Amino acid sequence: MAKIGVVVGSIRKGSFSKSIADNVVGLFPSGYELEFIDIANLPLYNQDYDEQDIPEYTTFRNKVKSMDAILFVTPEHNRSIPAALKNALDVGSRPYGQNVWDGKPAAIISHSPSNLSGFGANHHLRQPLAFLNMQVLQQPECYLANVHELLDDNGKITRQDTVEFLQGFVDAFVQLIEKHQ
């Protein structure tokens, strides 16, 4: 039905974001193909590179272009999104007029080890996604508080109510994707 790119905002090995994404991928219905899009190897965006062939940029842009929708899973860094995620947004939006994010449905899962649950990251990410003309899932919003308490030693979500909430989130995202196909 659709090919969904999963962009994990944390580039740390063993990140909570990657564990959450691994759990969520299994909640999509059959017929949906999910593929992780790596952002860790992208050089910092520099407009001077627009005139050059930067292989990491080309590979990344082509991967995003091939997707029907994007799922972002991100931690909160200083009440905002991680620098690696912002860099990926910038790389994909350039050179001017060649925005690979344009028109794609998107959904955001944010998290934090605190009770604030990544609220700042979620809302900060929505701002550039609106400018990039992505159709962001508005409801339900997905903030996961105390993320370190939600995962076992193998990275599996331990709370059934959290799994059920995430299933409802995925179902709403699937409806958004189908609406835009």
Phi-psi label, residue 119: left if phi above 0, alpha if psi -120 to 50, beta otherwise: alpha
pLDDT in tens, 47-62: 999 989 999 999 999 9
What percent of the chain has pLDDT above 70?
100
DSSP 13-31: TT-HHHHHHHHHHTTSPTT
pLDDT at 125 over 80: yes
pLDDT in tens, 71-117: 999 999 999 999 999 999 999 999 999 999 999 999 999 999 988 88
Question: Parallel, antiparallel, or unpaired: how do β-strands 105-111 and 2-8 relate?
Answer: unpaired
pTM of the model: 0.97
pLDDT in tens, 130-167: 999 999 999 999 999 999 999 999 999 999 999 999 99
CATH number at residue 107: 3.40.50.360
The domain in which residue 80 lies consists of 2-180
Q: Over the chain, what is the mean pLDDT? A: 96
Task: Give CA–CA dist 137/135, Å, rounded.
Answer: 7
CB neighbourhood size of 156 (10 A): 12
Task: Give CA–CA dist 23/30, Å, rounded.
Answer: 15
Domain count, the chain: 1
Task: Give CA–CA dist 115/160, Å, rounded.
Answer: 19
Alpha carbon distances (Å) from 142 to 5, 30, 103, 137, 175: 18, 22, 21, 10, 16
